[in-house]
Chains A and B, each alone.
Chain A
Amino acid sequence: MTTPPRRDPVRFAAVLLGGGLLASWIGFGILHAALGGTRTLEYLVYAIAIAVMLAFPSARAILRAIGPWRAGAALVLLVAMAEVQASRAARVRYPLASWTMYSLTPDSPSRIHKVFLVDPGGAEHRVLPRDLAPFHNGSTFFRRLESLARTDPDDFPAALRAAASRHAAFDGAERVEWRAFDLHAEERPLRLEPRPEADRVVPLAR
């Protein structure tokens, strides 16, 4: 007489967690599709990495030790956070040849923006990106402003004015000027080619 094989608790936990994970992922996938996007690669990347980690007995053992509700809740939270990151990455359009980081604007990777506050006497005060950003992401904020200028030119002056209002020199300034400098990477040493005329000039309310 043979005894029936005992259920391997580790494998059982792994299947349970894997199933829960997959279900969560499908849920998020449907949710995201409902919001009108696709990001297969982002999901795949996370799924493969989690599968790799769960393939190790020590990782499975520690998850089993904490019990199913804690393990399940932790994995669902992990997936939810991953979803936030994947969502941000998927929102960005990727350039063909000069993709560097998520935040780099695809169609103008070699352009540097400078913002100047000009006082009534003509003196200029350079404003750095971090002076304008609402939190701590100045460089990408500049590009966001430029993107806004392209898509909705009417909103640009208001956006720039609102951003510049944070700068200490704003009170005495007459106008804010937005200038773009082309960065010539082909030549060494690297140099900026200044364009003296401002791309956009936004008068400030006195």
Chain B
Amino acid sequence: MSRWRAELAGRRQWGLPHRACGPEELGLLRLLVYGAWFLLFTRMDPERAAAMPRAMFQADGLLALLPDGMWDALLSRGGLEALKWVGLAATAAAALGLRPWPLAGVLAACSALLYDGMGKGFGGFHNHGQFAALAGAWLLLVFPAADGLALGRRRGGRDPRVYAAPLFVAAAATLLAYHFVGSVRFFRGDWSLLVNESMRIWFATRTVEYIGDPRGLGVLLTEHRALYALVLAGFWVVTAMEILSPLALVHRAFRWVWLAVMIPFHAATHFTMYILFWENMLLLLVVMTPLPRLLRPRDLREGAELFIDGECVLCHGVAKWIARFDPGGRVRIGALQGETARQRGIPLPQGDPGGWSVVLWMDGRVLERSDAVLGVFGVLGGWWGFLRVFALVPRPLRDEAYRWVAGRRYRLFGQHDACSLPSVEDRERLLP
């Protein structure tokens, strides 16, 4: 705890969540935003929507500027079918980062705006459930969002702040939506909301109407005075956090406090009111936490060398796998019995078939077992880098899983009695 406190005190508290990024991190945001819209489009039912009386529809905001004739065409069966399939195709293309960017993105963002406007225009539905994803779909259009994690040729090499900026702007859009909801609730609504029976009624209404059971969790929660007081107190805290949301963008410690309140709040609303802002929860994890950094290949000062148990490392499935996913040759490979391993001071394996077959030397550090595997994932970056989340699993458990796989490595990955001739790139990767 004291070390944590010292680290916290030593770090600058004022700062953005992402000041410099690679294309992979921005690619993750793109995949998430348009992927969320793709999933929402799969739930659209044109036949049902077309049966809605036109009188119930009312367009909001800028959408109100569209002429009635256009809405008539869009709200017809044919218009809704077209919107669904265009939306599915465009959001899929945008999520995959197909070029030329942002052509697919423009189509996806327009489809998302219309779909969102229709859903809310019919239901009189006002919340910030899909708002951040909608804002994100538009904001990504002005950034090179298809440079990373995209199908086809990879690009990159831009100023890292250009990749970081959209994450900042998307975070700003998300937090502004929260700030708006909290502020309007507090200042334009009624303060008595936070002390009277409104929340109780709201829980009960949602529970009964959505699950049809008056004994649902939302009702039960409010039947006990102490629990209801706790819920109201929590709602005060949540409202305060919502109003202070912009601060979470620029203050590190407050950001974690904010996330620690808002993520459980979203989970709680699912169980008590059947409201789940899953799009917001995913977006927050990407734009407000260091999670996307897992995708960025680790910077190496001295290099990474992987030592594998075996005289002929090229015969090893792991070596072949690395050669496939590390075209840049950042990970060099040698045998544990080789000269380089001896120079690095890495001891030879001692009998245990699963305990010592892969060792990673990285920037002067020796990583063994599961640490070595996670270290290789970090150097490779991209989706492999995401597997570093397993570092959160306690090491003894990880090592046990590693031993299980390592002990069966020949059965799982095969054993080669004969080598194919190494290519020039493979030979350069090899260590003596």
Q: Answer yes or no: do A and B interact.
A: yes
Beyond A84-B61, A143-B124, is A129–B201 a contact (Cβ under 8 Å)?
no
Confirm or deny: A26 has a beta carbon within 8 angstroms of a beta carbon on chain B: no
In the complex, whether B1 has a CB less than 8 A from a CB of chain A is no
11 intermolecular pairs with C-beta atoms under 8 Å apart: A52-B246, A70-B165, A85-B128, A85-B177, A87-B61, A99-B185, A109-B201, A113-B209, A139-B205, A148-B53, A192-B208
Instruction: Give chain B residues whose Cβ lies under 8 Å from the Cβ of A139.
Output: 205-206, 209-210
Q: Shortest CB–CB separation between residue A117 and chain B, in angstroms?
A: 14
B153 contacts the other chain (CB 8 A)? no
- Chain B contact residues: over half helix, strand or loop, or mixed? helix
A residues apposed to B, CB below 8 Å: 31, 35, 41-42, 45-46, 49-50, 52-53, 56, 58-59, 61-63, 65-66, 69-71, 73-74, 77-78, 80-89, 91-92, 94-104, 109-110, 112-114, 126, 128-130, 133-145, 147-148, 152, 155, 158-159, 162-163, 165-166, 181, 183, 185-186, 188-192
Contact at B204–A190, with CB atoms within 8 Å?
yes
Known interface pairs A66-B161, A66-B162, A148-B56; A46-B62 also in contact (CB < 8 Å) = no
**With A162-B51, A186-B197, A189-B223 already in contact, 5 other A-B pairs whose C-beta atoms are closer than 8 Å:** A81-B134, A97-B192, A99-B193, A100-B199, A185-B200
Q: Which of B166-174, B342-350, B354-362 contacts A (4 or more CB under 8 A)?
A: B166-174
* Residue in A35, A78, A92, A190 whose beta carbon sits within 8 Å of that of B139 in the complex: A78
Contacts of A82 in B (CB 8 A): 176, 180
A183 to B185, CA, bound (A): 23
Map CB proximity to A onto B172-216 as digits: 1 under 8 Å, 0 otherwise: 110111011001110111101100111111101110111110100
Chain A nearest Cβ from B358, distance in angstroms? 40
- In the complex, what distance in Å separates the CA atom of A59 from the CA atom of B176? 14
Whether A166 contacts B48 by the Cβ 8 Å rule is yes
The residue among A126, A137, A188 with the most chain B CB atoms within 10 A of its own CB is A137
Q: Bound complex: CA of A85 vs CA of B180, how far in Å?
A: 9
A14 to B320, alpha carbons, bound, how many Å?
Answer: 52
- Interface window among B11-19, B287-295, B391-399: B11-19
Q: Could you list which residues of chain B lie within 8 angstroms of chain A, going by C-beta atoms?
A: 14-16, 19, 43-45, 48-49, 51-53, 55-56, 58, 60-65, 113, 117-120, 122-128, 131, 134-135, 138-139, 141-143, 159, 161-162, 164-166, 168-169, 172-173, 175-177, 179-180, 183-185, 187-190, 192-193, 196-202, 204-206, 208-212, 214, 219, 222-223, 225, 245-247, 249-250
Q: Is the CB of A84 within 8 A of B62?
A: yes
B20 to chain A minimum Cβ distance, whole angstroms, is: 9
Closest to B167 in A: A62
Chain B's closest residue to A156 (CB) is B53
- Complex Cα–Cα for A56 and B166 (A): 17
Residue of A42, A139, A142 with most chain B CB atoms under a 10 A cut-off = A139
Kindly state the separation between the CA atoms of A101 and B210 in the bound complex, as whole angstroms: 16
- Residues in B with CB closer than 8 Å to A110 are 201, 205
Decide if A62 touches B209 in the complex (CB within 8 Å). Answer: no
* Known A-B contacts A62-B19, A77-B135; A70 and B142 likewise in contact (beta carbons under 8 Å): yes
A135 near B184: Cβ-Cβ < 8 Å: no
Distance in angstroms between the alpha carbons of A140 and B63 in the assembled complex? 20
Instruction: Given A62-B165, A74-B169, A81-B134, check contact A99 B60 (CB 8 Å).
Output: no
Q: Are A128 and B209 in contact (CB under 8 A)?
A: yes
Once the chains are docked, how many angstroms separate the CA of A73 from the CA of B135? 13
CA distance A70 to B162 in the complex (A): 9
Q: Compute how far the CA of A61 lies from the CA of B15 in the bound complex, rounded to whole angstroms.
A: 11
Residues of B contacting A144 with CB < 8 Å? 56, 122-124
- Chain B residues with Cβ below 8 Å from A58 are 14-16, 19, 250
Distance between A44 CB and nearest chain B CB, rounded to angstroms: 9
Ranked nearest first, the 8 interchain pairs of A and B with the lowest CB-CB distance are A102-B126, A137-B123, A87-B61, A135-B119, A84-B61, A65-B161, A137-B125, A81-B135
